[in-house]
Structure 1
Amino acid sequence: MSYCKRFNVPFEYNAIAKKWDTISLEDLKIERDEMVVVNCLYRLRHVPDESAGLDSRRDDVLNLIRKINPDLFIHGIVNGTYNGSFFTSRFREALYHYSSLFDMLDNTIPREDHDRLLYEREEFGRDVMNVIACEGPVRTERPETYKKWQVRNLRAGFRQLPLNQDIVKEVKAKVRKGYNNDFLLDEDSDWMLQGWKGRVMYALSCWMPVRE
Protein backbone atom coordinates (compact mmCIF):
# COMPACT_ATOMS: atom_id res chain seq x y z
CA MET A 1 0.00 0.00 0.00
CA SER A 2 2.81 2.43 0.88
CA TYR A 3 4.45 1.58 -2.46
CA CYS A 4 1.27 2.59 -4.30
CA LYS A 5 1.02 5.86 -2.38
CA ARG A 6 4.65 6.63 -3.06
CA PHE A 7 4.22 6.31 -6.82
CA ASN A 8 0.63 7.58 -6.90
CA VAL A 9 -0.80 4.29 -8.15
CA PRO A 10 -4.52 3.73 -7.42
CA PHE A 11 -4.96 0.63 -5.26
CA GLU A 12 -7.96 -1.39 -4.14
CA TYR A 13 -8.07 -4.78 -2.44
CA ASN A 14 -11.15 -6.95 -2.81
CA ALA A 15 -11.04 -9.95 -0.47
CA ILE A 16 -13.29 -12.88 -1.43
CA ALA A 17 -13.93 -15.53 1.23
CA LYS A 18 -15.10 -18.33 -1.04
CA LYS A 19 -13.85 -21.58 -2.46
CA TRP A 20 -12.25 -20.89 -5.80
CA ASP A 21 -14.70 -23.01 -7.76
CA THR A 22 -17.68 -21.05 -6.34
CA ILE A 23 -16.42 -17.57 -7.27
CA SER A 24 -18.40 -15.81 -9.99
CA LEU A 25 -17.21 -13.20 -12.45
CA GLU A 26 -19.36 -10.58 -10.70
CA ASP A 27 -17.56 -11.21 -7.39
CA LEU A 28 -14.32 -9.92 -8.88
CA LYS A 29 -15.62 -6.41 -9.65
CA ILE A 30 -13.41 -5.98 -12.69
CA GLU A 31 -13.63 -2.53 -14.23
CA ARG A 32 -14.06 -2.11 -17.95
CA ASP A 33 -10.92 -1.50 -20.02
CA GLU A 34 -8.50 -2.16 -17.15
CA MET A 35 -5.53 -4.44 -17.66
CA VAL A 36 -6.07 -7.76 -15.89
CA VAL A 37 -3.41 -10.28 -14.85
CA VAL A 38 -4.35 -13.55 -13.16
CA ASN A 39 -1.42 -14.68 -11.02
CA CYS A 40 -2.02 -18.25 -9.83
CA LEU A 41 1.02 -19.77 -8.15
CA TYR A 42 1.01 -23.33 -6.78
CA ARG A 43 -2.53 -23.26 -5.34
CA LEU A 44 -4.72 -24.97 -7.91
CA ARG A 45 -3.52 -28.30 -6.53
CA HIS A 46 -5.97 -27.70 -3.67
CA VAL A 47 -8.96 -27.47 -6.00
CA PRO A 48 -10.61 -30.91 -6.40
CA ASP A 49 -10.20 -32.74 -9.68
CA GLU A 50 -11.84 -35.84 -11.13
CA SER A 51 -9.99 -38.11 -8.69
CA ALA A 52 -12.07 -36.67 -5.82
CA GLY A 53 -15.14 -38.38 -7.25
CA LEU A 54 -16.65 -35.13 -8.51
CA ASP A 55 -16.79 -33.20 -11.73
CA SER A 56 -13.50 -31.40 -12.12
CA ARG A 57 -13.64 -28.19 -10.11
CA ARG A 58 -10.28 -27.32 -11.67
CA ASP A 59 -11.91 -27.01 -15.04
CA ASP A 60 -14.53 -24.74 -13.44
CA VAL A 61 -11.79 -22.44 -12.12
CA LEU A 62 -10.02 -22.40 -15.49
CA ASN A 63 -13.33 -21.57 -17.17
CA LEU A 64 -13.76 -18.67 -14.74
CA ILE A 65 -10.28 -17.39 -15.59
CA ARG A 66 -11.21 -17.70 -19.26
CA LYS A 67 -14.34 -15.59 -18.65
CA ILE A 68 -12.21 -12.97 -16.90
CA ASN A 69 -10.44 -12.66 -20.26
CA PRO A 70 -7.12 -11.60 -18.70
CA ASP A 71 -4.30 -9.96 -20.59
CA LEU A 72 -2.03 -12.51 -18.95
CA PHE A 73 -2.52 -15.70 -16.93
CA ILE A 74 0.59 -16.72 -14.95
CA HIS A 75 0.33 -20.35 -13.90
CA GLY A 76 2.72 -21.95 -11.43
CA ILE A 77 2.20 -25.58 -10.41
CA VAL A 78 3.61 -28.20 -8.07
CA ASN A 79 4.72 -30.95 -10.43
CA GLY A 80 3.55 -34.02 -8.54
CA THR A 81 2.37 -37.53 -9.36
CA TYR A 82 1.12 -38.44 -5.88
CA ASN A 83 -2.56 -37.92 -6.60
CA GLY A 84 -3.56 -41.49 -7.38
CA SER A 85 -6.54 -43.33 -5.95
CA PHE A 86 -4.42 -46.26 -4.77
CA PHE A 87 -2.64 -45.66 -1.49
CA THR A 88 0.50 -47.67 -2.28
CA SER A 89 1.36 -45.79 -5.46
CA ARG A 90 0.42 -42.46 -3.88
CA PHE A 91 2.66 -43.16 -0.89
CA ARG A 92 5.56 -44.16 -3.13
CA GLU A 93 5.31 -41.07 -5.34
CA ALA A 94 4.94 -38.78 -2.32
CA LEU A 95 8.03 -40.40 -0.81
CA TYR A 96 10.06 -39.62 -3.94
CA HIS A 97 8.80 -36.04 -4.09
CA TYR A 98 9.30 -35.10 -0.45
CA SER A 99 12.59 -36.99 -0.18
CA SER A 100 13.91 -34.66 -2.87
CA LEU A 101 12.66 -31.62 -0.99
CA PHE A 102 14.26 -32.73 2.28
CA ASP A 103 17.48 -33.65 0.50
CA MET A 104 17.55 -30.16 -0.99
CA LEU A 105 17.12 -28.64 2.47
CA ASP A 106 19.85 -30.86 3.93
CA ASN A 107 22.26 -29.58 1.31
CA THR A 108 21.42 -25.91 1.68
CA ILE A 109 20.14 -25.16 5.22
CA PRO A 110 21.31 -26.51 8.61
CA ARG A 111 18.83 -28.93 10.20
CA GLU A 112 18.67 -26.88 13.41
CA ASP A 113 17.73 -23.68 11.56
CA HIS A 114 14.58 -22.29 13.18
CA ASP A 115 12.93 -21.18 9.95
CA ARG A 116 13.59 -24.55 8.35
CA LEU A 117 12.07 -26.41 11.31
CA LEU A 118 9.02 -24.17 11.19
CA TYR A 119 8.57 -24.63 7.46
CA GLU A 120 9.02 -28.40 7.66
CA ARG A 121 6.41 -28.66 10.39
CA GLU A 122 3.82 -26.19 9.15
CA GLU A 123 4.15 -26.70 5.39
CA PHE A 124 5.73 -30.01 4.42
CA GLY A 125 4.52 -31.90 7.49
CA ARG A 126 0.92 -30.82 7.02
CA ASP A 127 1.00 -31.63 3.31
CA VAL A 128 2.53 -35.08 3.81
CA MET A 129 -0.05 -35.91 6.47
CA ASN A 130 -2.85 -34.89 4.13
CA VAL A 131 -1.51 -37.00 1.24
CA ILE A 132 -1.02 -40.12 3.35
CA ALA A 133 -3.75 -40.01 6.00
CA CYS A 134 -6.72 -38.48 4.17
CA GLU A 135 -9.12 -39.71 1.51
CA GLY A 136 -12.05 -38.28 -0.43
CA PRO A 137 -12.81 -34.55 -0.20
CA VAL A 138 -10.64 -34.26 2.93
CA ARG A 139 -7.50 -34.95 0.89
CA THR A 140 -6.74 -31.51 -0.49
CA GLU A 141 -3.19 -32.16 -1.75
CA ARG A 142 -3.86 -33.22 -5.35
CA PRO A 143 -1.02 -32.07 -7.61
CA GLU A 144 -0.74 -32.84 -11.30
CA THR A 145 2.16 -32.77 -13.72
CA TYR A 146 2.75 -29.73 -15.89
CA LYS A 147 1.95 -31.85 -18.95
CA LYS A 148 -1.53 -32.59 -17.59
CA TRP A 149 -2.04 -28.93 -16.77
CA GLN A 150 -1.02 -28.05 -20.29
CA VAL A 151 -3.83 -30.23 -21.63
CA ARG A 152 -6.32 -28.67 -19.19
CA ASN A 153 -5.33 -25.12 -20.07
CA LEU A 154 -5.52 -25.73 -23.81
CA ARG A 155 -8.89 -27.43 -23.42
CA ALA A 156 -10.17 -24.46 -21.40
CA GLY A 157 -9.42 -22.10 -24.29
CA PHE A 158 -5.97 -20.70 -23.51
CA ARG A 159 -2.93 -20.41 -25.72
CA GLN A 160 0.53 -20.68 -24.25
CA LEU A 161 3.02 -17.85 -24.56
CA PRO A 162 6.69 -18.54 -25.30
CA LEU A 163 9.16 -18.04 -22.50
CA ASN A 164 11.20 -14.84 -22.64
CA GLN A 165 14.62 -16.23 -23.46
CA ASP A 166 16.45 -13.20 -22.06
CA ILE A 167 14.81 -13.78 -18.68
CA VAL A 168 15.48 -17.53 -18.86
CA LYS A 169 19.16 -16.94 -19.59
CA GLU A 170 19.43 -14.44 -16.75
CA VAL A 171 17.81 -16.82 -14.25
CA LYS A 172 19.98 -19.74 -15.37
CA ALA A 173 23.09 -17.58 -15.00
CA LYS A 174 22.10 -16.63 -11.45
CA VAL A 175 21.48 -20.28 -10.54
CA ARG A 176 24.86 -21.34 -11.94
CA LYS A 177 26.65 -18.50 -10.19
CA GLY A 178 25.13 -18.49 -6.73
CA TYR A 179 23.23 -21.71 -6.06
CA ASN A 180 23.95 -25.36 -5.37
CA ASN A 181 24.95 -27.27 -8.50
CA ASP A 182 22.14 -29.77 -7.95
CA PHE A 183 19.41 -27.18 -8.49
CA LEU A 184 17.56 -27.82 -11.74
CA LEU A 185 16.36 -25.07 -14.04
CA ASP A 186 15.19 -26.22 -17.45
CA GLU A 187 12.56 -25.69 -20.14
CA ASP A 188 10.00 -27.94 -21.77
CA SER A 189 7.05 -27.00 -23.97
CA ASP A 190 7.32 -23.35 -22.86
CA TRP A 191 7.26 -24.27 -19.17
CA MET A 192 10.11 -23.15 -16.93
CA LEU A 193 10.97 -26.17 -14.80
CA GLN A 194 12.52 -26.06 -11.34
CA GLY A 195 13.74 -29.00 -9.34
CA TRP A 196 16.52 -30.86 -7.58
CA LYS A 197 18.91 -33.54 -8.85
CA GLY A 198 16.93 -34.15 -12.02
CA ARG A 199 13.48 -34.30 -10.40
CA VAL A 200 11.12 -31.57 -11.60
CA MET A 201 9.14 -30.25 -8.64
CA TYR A 202 7.73 -26.94 -9.87
CA ALA A 203 6.80 -25.51 -13.25
CA LEU A 204 5.80 -22.05 -14.43
CA SER A 205 4.21 -20.82 -17.65
CA CYS A 206 2.23 -17.90 -19.10
CA TRP A 207 -1.03 -18.02 -21.02
CA MET A 208 -3.61 -15.87 -22.78
CA PRO A 209 -7.20 -16.64 -23.71
CA VAL A 210 -7.76 -17.59 -27.32
CA ARG A 211 -9.58 -14.63 -28.82
CA GLU A 212 -11.59 -15.18 -31.96
Structure 2
Amino acid sequence: MESEKIVHVIDLGGADATQWLELLHLLAARPEGPPHLRLTSVHEHKDLLSQTAMALTKEAERLDVPFQFNPVVSRLDALDVESLRVKTGEALAICSSLHLHCLLASDDDATAGAAVAGGDKERRSPESGLSPSTSRADAFLGALWGLSPKVMVVTEQEASHNAAGLTERFVEALNYYAALFDCLEVGAARGSVERARVERWLLGEEIKNIVACDGGERRERHERLERWARRLEGAGFGRVPLSYYALLQARRVAQGLGCDGFKVREEKGNFFLCWQDRALFSVSAWRGRRFD
Protein backbone atom coordinates (compact mmCIF):
# COMPACT_ATOMS: atom_id res chain seq x y z
CA MET A 1 0.00 0.00 0.00
CA GLU A 2 3.05 2.27 0.30
CA SER A 3 2.92 3.83 -3.16
CA GLU A 4 -0.80 3.50 -3.82
CA LYS A 5 -2.77 6.65 -4.64
CA ILE A 6 -6.23 5.24 -3.86
CA VAL A 7 -6.69 2.83 -0.95
CA HIS A 8 -10.04 1.17 -0.28
CA VAL A 9 -10.49 -0.60 3.07
CA ILE A 10 -13.54 -2.78 3.70
CA ASP A 11 -14.33 -3.33 7.38
CA LEU A 12 -16.63 -6.34 7.71
CA GLY A 13 -18.87 -6.05 10.72
CA GLY A 14 -16.98 -3.27 12.41
CA ALA A 15 -18.14 0.10 13.68
CA ASP A 16 -15.18 0.94 15.92
CA ALA A 17 -13.28 3.98 14.67
CA THR A 18 -10.18 3.42 16.84
CA GLN A 19 -7.99 1.44 14.44
CA TRP A 20 -9.00 3.61 11.47
CA LEU A 21 -8.09 6.78 13.37
CA GLU A 22 -4.62 5.29 13.75
CA LEU A 23 -4.55 4.45 10.03
CA LEU A 24 -5.39 8.05 9.16
CA HIS A 25 -2.40 9.22 11.22
CA LEU A 26 -0.10 6.71 9.52
CA LEU A 27 -1.25 7.77 6.05
CA ALA A 28 -0.90 11.46 6.91
CA ALA A 29 2.75 10.84 7.83
CA ARG A 30 3.69 9.27 4.46
CA PRO A 31 6.66 11.15 2.93
CA GLU A 32 4.99 11.17 -0.50
CA GLY A 33 1.72 12.43 0.97
CA PRO A 34 -1.44 10.55 1.92
CA PRO A 35 -3.49 8.58 -0.60
CA HIS A 36 -7.20 8.98 -1.11
CA LEU A 37 -8.72 6.67 1.49
CA ARG A 38 -12.11 5.04 1.01
CA LEU A 39 -13.48 3.15 4.01
CA THR A 40 -16.47 0.88 3.58
CA SER A 41 -17.88 -0.27 6.91
CA VAL A 42 -20.48 -3.02 7.19
CA HIS A 43 -22.70 -3.14 10.28
CA GLU A 44 -26.34 -3.84 11.00
CA HIS A 45 -26.82 -0.74 13.15
CA LYS A 46 -27.03 2.53 11.21
CA ASP A 47 -26.48 4.73 14.28
CA LEU A 48 -23.08 3.16 15.01
CA LEU A 49 -22.01 3.67 11.42
CA SER A 50 -23.06 7.33 11.61
CA GLN A 51 -20.98 7.85 14.75
CA THR A 52 -17.96 6.22 13.12
CA ALA A 53 -18.37 8.32 9.98
CA MET A 54 -18.52 11.54 12.00
CA ALA A 55 -15.39 10.76 14.03
CA LEU A 56 -13.31 9.68 11.04
CA THR A 57 -14.42 12.49 8.73
CA LYS A 58 -13.55 15.09 11.35
CA GLU A 59 -10.09 13.63 11.93
CA ALA A 60 -9.40 13.22 8.20
CA GLU A 61 -10.20 16.89 7.64
CA ARG A 62 -7.89 17.88 10.49
CA LEU A 63 -5.05 15.77 9.05
CA ASP A 64 -5.79 16.84 5.46
CA VAL A 65 -6.24 13.24 4.29
CA PRO A 66 -8.64 12.79 1.35
CA PHE A 67 -11.32 10.56 2.81
CA GLN A 68 -14.64 8.99 1.84
CA PHE A 69 -16.83 6.87 4.11
CA ASN A 70 -19.23 4.34 2.63
CA PRO A 71 -21.66 2.88 5.22
CA VAL A 72 -23.36 -0.41 4.40
CA VAL A 73 -26.22 -1.29 6.75
CA SER A 74 -26.43 -5.08 6.65
CA ARG A 75 -25.76 -8.26 8.55
CA LEU A 76 -22.79 -10.12 7.19
CA ASP A 77 -24.85 -13.15 6.17
CA ALA A 78 -27.18 -10.92 4.13
CA LEU A 79 -24.48 -8.79 2.51
CA ASP A 80 -24.62 -8.13 -1.22
CA VAL A 81 -20.99 -7.76 -2.31
CA GLU A 82 -22.08 -5.28 -4.99
CA SER A 83 -22.91 -2.81 -2.20
CA LEU A 84 -19.20 -2.65 -1.34
CA ARG A 85 -18.69 -0.65 -4.53
CA VAL A 86 -15.16 -1.79 -5.31
CA LYS A 87 -13.69 0.15 -8.25
CA THR A 88 -10.98 -0.67 -10.75
CA GLY A 89 -7.62 0.85 -9.87
CA GLU A 90 -8.09 0.81 -6.11
CA ALA A 91 -5.70 -0.96 -3.77
CA LEU A 92 -8.18 -3.06 -1.80
CA ALA A 93 -7.74 -4.29 1.76
CA ILE A 94 -10.37 -6.27 3.70
CA CYS A 95 -10.55 -6.51 7.48
CA SER A 96 -12.75 -8.94 9.41
CA SER A 97 -12.58 -8.90 13.18
CA LEU A 98 -14.56 -11.58 15.07
CA HIS A 99 -17.42 -11.77 12.57
CA LEU A 100 -16.79 -14.44 9.91
CA HIS A 101 -17.84 -17.24 12.26
CA CYS A 102 -21.43 -15.95 12.24
CA LEU A 103 -21.69 -17.13 8.63
CA LEU A 104 -21.39 -20.73 9.80
CA ALA A 105 -24.87 -20.54 11.32
CA SER A 106 -26.28 -20.29 7.81
CA ASP A 107 -25.44 -23.93 7.19
CA ASP A 108 -28.25 -24.86 9.58
CA ASP A 109 -30.72 -22.40 8.09
CA ALA A 110 -33.25 -23.25 5.43
CA THR A 111 -31.03 -21.29 3.06
CA ALA A 112 -28.06 -23.58 3.59
CA GLY A 113 -26.18 -24.10 0.37
CA ALA A 114 -27.55 -20.98 -1.29
CA ALA A 115 -24.99 -18.77 -2.96
CA VAL A 116 -24.01 -15.50 -1.32
CA ALA A 117 -26.18 -12.52 -2.34
CA GLY A 118 -25.11 -11.33 -5.75
CA GLY A 119 -23.55 -14.73 -6.37
CA ASP A 120 -24.25 -14.75 -10.11
CA LYS A 121 -22.06 -11.70 -10.47
CA GLU A 122 -19.15 -12.90 -8.35
CA ARG A 123 -15.87 -13.99 -9.88
CA ARG A 124 -14.66 -17.32 -8.56
CA SER A 125 -11.23 -18.83 -8.12
CA PRO A 126 -10.55 -21.65 -10.57
CA GLU A 127 -8.95 -23.46 -7.64
CA SER A 128 -11.75 -22.93 -5.15
CA GLY A 129 -14.03 -25.73 -6.32
CA LEU A 130 -17.15 -23.83 -5.26
CA SER A 131 -20.36 -25.61 -6.22
CA PRO A 132 -24.10 -25.10 -5.67
CA SER A 133 -23.77 -27.14 -2.46
CA THR A 134 -21.05 -24.88 -1.06
CA SER A 135 -21.68 -23.52 2.43
CA ARG A 136 -22.55 -19.87 2.98
CA ALA A 137 -19.14 -19.16 4.52
CA ASP A 138 -17.28 -20.75 1.61
CA ALA A 139 -19.40 -18.92 -0.96
CA PHE A 140 -18.85 -15.62 0.86
CA LEU A 141 -15.09 -16.13 0.93
CA GLY A 142 -15.21 -16.95 -2.77
CA ALA A 143 -17.04 -13.67 -3.40
CA LEU A 144 -14.37 -11.78 -1.45
CA TRP A 145 -11.67 -13.49 -3.50
CA GLY A 146 -13.47 -12.22 -6.58
CA LEU A 147 -12.90 -8.63 -5.41
CA SER A 148 -9.11 -9.19 -5.81
CA PRO A 149 -7.92 -7.74 -2.48
CA LYS A 150 -4.22 -7.05 -2.04
CA VAL A 151 -4.56 -8.21 1.54
CA MET A 152 -7.25 -9.51 3.89
CA VAL A 153 -6.70 -9.60 7.65
CA VAL A 154 -8.84 -12.03 9.66
CA THR A 155 -9.19 -12.07 13.44
CA GLU A 156 -11.17 -14.87 15.04
CA GLN A 157 -11.59 -16.59 18.39
CA GLU A 158 -9.11 -19.45 18.71
CA ALA A 159 -11.65 -21.96 19.96
CA SER A 160 -13.80 -24.88 18.80
CA HIS A 161 -17.39 -23.94 19.60
CA ASN A 162 -19.01 -25.31 16.44
CA ALA A 163 -19.34 -28.96 17.40
CA ALA A 164 -22.72 -30.60 16.87
CA GLY A 165 -22.70 -32.19 20.34
CA LEU A 166 -23.61 -30.08 23.37
CA THR A 167 -21.10 -31.81 25.69
CA GLU A 168 -18.14 -31.02 23.44
CA ARG A 169 -19.23 -27.39 23.04
CA PHE A 170 -19.79 -27.04 26.79
CA VAL A 171 -16.35 -28.37 27.75
CA GLU A 172 -14.58 -26.24 25.14
CA ALA A 173 -16.54 -23.14 26.16
CA LEU A 174 -15.82 -23.78 29.85
CA ASN A 175 -12.06 -23.82 29.27
CA TYR A 176 -12.04 -20.91 26.84
CA TYR A 177 -14.22 -18.52 28.82
CA ALA A 178 -12.51 -19.45 32.09
CA ALA A 179 -9.34 -17.98 30.58
CA LEU A 180 -11.22 -14.84 29.48
CA PHE A 181 -12.71 -14.36 32.93
CA ASP A 182 -9.22 -14.80 34.41
CA CYS A 183 -8.12 -11.89 32.19
CA LEU A 184 -10.89 -9.72 33.56
CA GLU A 185 -10.12 -10.72 37.13
CA VAL A 186 -6.55 -9.47 36.74
CA GLY A 187 -7.10 -6.53 34.43
CA ALA A 188 -10.41 -4.98 35.54
CA ALA A 189 -11.54 -3.89 38.98
CA ARG A 190 -14.37 -5.86 40.57
CA GLY A 191 -17.60 -3.93 40.65
CA SER A 192 -16.66 -1.64 37.77
CA VAL A 193 -19.48 -0.83 35.36
CA GLU A 194 -17.33 -1.60 32.32
CA ARG A 195 -16.37 -5.04 33.62
CA ALA A 196 -19.99 -5.86 34.46
CA ARG A 197 -21.06 -4.95 30.95
CA VAL A 198 -18.39 -7.13 29.36
CA GLU A 199 -19.20 -10.08 31.61
CA ARG A 200 -22.96 -9.88 31.17
CA TRP A 201 -23.65 -8.44 27.74
CA LEU A 202 -20.67 -9.74 25.80
CA LEU A 203 -19.21 -12.90 27.32
CA GLY A 204 -22.44 -13.96 29.02
CA GLU A 205 -24.45 -13.68 25.82
CA GLU A 206 -21.80 -15.58 23.86
CA ILE A 207 -21.78 -18.42 26.38
CA LYS A 208 -25.58 -18.61 26.38
CA ASN A 209 -25.64 -18.72 22.59
CA ILE A 210 -23.04 -21.50 22.43
CA VAL A 211 -24.64 -23.84 24.96
CA ALA A 212 -28.35 -22.96 24.88
CA CYS A 213 -29.06 -22.34 21.19
CA ASP A 214 -29.02 -24.52 18.13
CA GLY A 215 -29.76 -24.38 14.44
CA GLY A 216 -29.59 -20.96 12.82
CA GLU A 217 -29.99 -19.25 16.20
CA ARG A 218 -26.55 -20.47 17.32
CA ARG A 219 -24.37 -17.80 15.77
CA GLU A 220 -21.30 -17.99 18.03
CA ARG A 221 -19.66 -20.82 16.07
CA HIS A 222 -16.02 -20.11 16.76
CA GLU A 223 -13.45 -22.27 15.01
CA ARG A 224 -9.67 -22.44 15.21
CA LEU A 225 -7.37 -20.87 12.64
CA GLU A 226 -6.47 -24.22 11.08
CA ARG A 227 -10.09 -24.67 9.94
CA TRP A 228 -10.39 -21.10 8.67
CA ALA A 229 -7.13 -21.60 6.80
CA ARG A 230 -8.60 -24.54 4.88
CA ARG A 231 -11.65 -22.45 3.94
CA LEU A 232 -9.60 -19.46 2.86
CA GLU A 233 -7.19 -21.56 0.82
CA GLY A 234 -10.12 -23.39 -0.75
CA ALA A 235 -11.54 -20.04 -1.86
CA GLY A 236 -8.25 -19.15 -3.57
CA PHE A 237 -6.50 -17.07 -0.91
CA GLY A 238 -2.79 -17.43 -0.16
CA ARG A 239 -1.15 -16.87 3.21
CA VAL A 240 0.81 -13.66 3.86
CA PRO A 241 3.15 -13.71 6.88
CA LEU A 242 2.57 -10.82 9.25
CA SER A 243 5.67 -8.64 9.59
CA TYR A 244 8.15 -8.54 12.43
CA TYR A 245 7.29 -4.87 12.90
CA ALA A 246 3.63 -5.84 13.36
CA LEU A 247 4.70 -8.44 15.92
CA LEU A 248 6.62 -5.83 17.90
CA GLN A 249 3.61 -3.50 17.80
CA ALA A 250 1.27 -6.26 18.95
CA ARG A 251 3.56 -7.18 21.83
CA ARG A 252 3.84 -3.53 22.83
CA VAL A 253 0.04 -3.30 22.99
CA ALA A 254 -0.14 -6.50 25.05
CA GLN A 255 2.45 -5.17 27.48
CA GLY A 256 0.49 -1.93 27.75
CA LEU A 257 -2.50 -3.82 29.15
CA GLY A 258 -0.70 -3.90 32.48
CA CYS A 259 -0.85 -7.67 33.04
CA ASP A 260 2.03 -10.13 32.78
CA GLY A 261 -0.33 -12.87 31.63
CA PHE A 262 -0.96 -11.44 28.15
CA LYS A 263 1.35 -12.74 25.44
CA VAL A 264 1.51 -12.54 21.65
CA ARG A 265 2.81 -15.73 20.06
CA GLU A 266 3.97 -15.90 16.45
CA GLU A 267 3.52 -19.14 14.57
CA LYS A 268 4.08 -19.59 10.82
CA GLY A 269 3.47 -15.91 10.18
CA ASN A 270 0.26 -15.77 12.22
CA PHE A 271 -0.24 -14.09 15.59
CA PHE A 272 -2.03 -15.55 18.60
CA LEU A 273 -3.10 -13.39 21.53
CA CYS A 274 -2.70 -15.59 24.60
CA TRP A 275 -3.56 -15.51 28.27
CA GLN A 276 -0.70 -17.38 29.92
CA ASP A 277 -0.26 -20.31 27.51
CA ARG A 278 -3.86 -20.41 26.25
CA ALA A 279 -4.41 -18.89 22.79
CA LEU A 280 -7.59 -16.78 22.79
CA PHE A 281 -7.58 -15.03 19.41
CA SER A 282 -5.78 -15.55 16.10
CA VAL A 283 -4.75 -12.92 13.57
CA SER A 284 -3.82 -13.97 10.04
CA ALA A 285 -3.22 -12.21 6.73
CA TRP A 286 -4.22 -13.42 3.28
CA ARG A 287 -3.85 -12.34 -0.32
CA GLY A 288 -6.31 -12.71 -3.16
CA ARG A 289 -4.21 -15.15 -5.13
CA ARG A 290 -2.14 -18.25 -4.47
CA PHE A 291 1.62 -18.10 -4.32
CA ASP A 292 3.70 -20.41 -6.49
Establish whether TM, by shorter chain, passes 0.5.
Answer: yes
Cα displacement string for residues 86-139 of structure 1 (whole angstroms, at most 9, x for unaligned residues)? 011111111111111001111121221110101111111111111111010000
Residue 13 of structure 1: SS of its match in structure 2? Answer: strand
Q: Does 2:40 match 1:40?
A: no
Q: Which residue in the other structure is 1:28 paired with?
A: 84
Q: TM-score, normalised by structure 2?
A: 0.67
Q: Secondary structure at the match of 1:59?
A: helix
Q: TM-score, normalised by structure 1?
A: 0.90
Gap regions ≥5 residues in structure 2: 1-56, 114-134
Equivalent residue of 2:223, what SS?
A: coil
Give 2:206's aligned residue. Answer: 127
Greater Cα shift, 29-38 or 196-205: 29-38
* TM alignment of 1:64-83, pairs within 5 A: 64-83=143-162
Number of residue pairs matched by the alignment: 212
> C-alpha offsets along residues 51-98 of structure 1, whole Å, 9 cap, x if unaligned?
637332111221121011112111111111121110111111111111
Relative to 1, partners in 2 of residues 1:7 and 1:180: Cα closer, same or farther, differing over 3 Å? Answer: closer
Query: What residue number does 1:58 align with?
Result: 137
- Aligned mates of 1:18, 1:171 — CA distance in 2: 30
User: SS of the counterpart of 1:98?
Assistant: helix
Matches within 5 A, 1:6-25: 6-25=62-81
Give the secondary structure class of the aligned counterpart of 2:94: strand
Quote the Cα distance in structure 2 between the aligned partners of 1:109 and 1:211.
43
Offset, 1:151:
1.1
**Higher relative contact order by CA 8 Å / sep ≥ 6: 1 or 2?**
1
Give the equivalent residue in structure 1 for 2:244: 165
Q: Are the aligned partners of 1:79 and 1:202 in contact in 2 as well (CA < 8 Å)?
A: yes
Distance 1:119 1:205 in 2: 25
Structure 1 CA distance, aligned partners of 2:81 and 2:251? 38
Answer whether contact 1:76 1:204 (CA < 8 A) is retained. Answer: yes
Give the one of 91, 96, 110 matched to 2:175. Answer: 96
SS in 2 for 1:4: helix
Residue 231 of structure 2 is matched in structure 1 by 152
Pick which of 124-133 and 1-10 moved more: 1-10
Whether the 8 Å contact between 2:106 and 2:216 is mirrored in structure 1 is no
Partners of 1:79 and 1:154 lie apart in 2 by 18
Distance 1:62 1:168, change over 3 A: same
2:208 maps to amino acid:
M
Structure 1 residue runs of 5 or longer lacking an equivalent are: none
